[in-house]
Amino acid sequence: MTTLEDLKKQAAEKAVELIEPGMVVGLGTGSTAVYAVRALGEMLQNGRLSHIIAIPTSEATATLARECAIPLTTLNDHPIIDLTIDGADEIAPNLDLTKGLGGALLREKIVAAASKRNIIIADHTKLVDKLGSRAPIPVEVVGFAERPLTLFLESLGARVVQRMAKDGTGNPFITDEGNLILDCHVAPLDDPAVFAQAVIGRPGVVEHGLFLGLATQAIVAMPNEVVILSR
Beta-sheet pairing, 205-208 with 53-56: unpaired
Find, among 67, 71, 66, the residue nearest to 25 by Cα: 71
Is-contact 68 41, C-beta < 8 A?
Answer: yes
Ramachandran angles phi, psi of 196, nearest 5°: -60, -45
Residue 108 annotated among the catalytic residues of the structure: yes
125 vs 127: CA distance, rounded Å: 6
123 vs 74: CA distance, rounded Å: 29
212 vs 51: CA distance, rounded Å: 31
Q: Of 13, 90, 108, 207, which is the active-site residue?
A: 108
Name the helix (H) or strand (E) containing 65: helix 59-67
| Residues forming the active site | 108
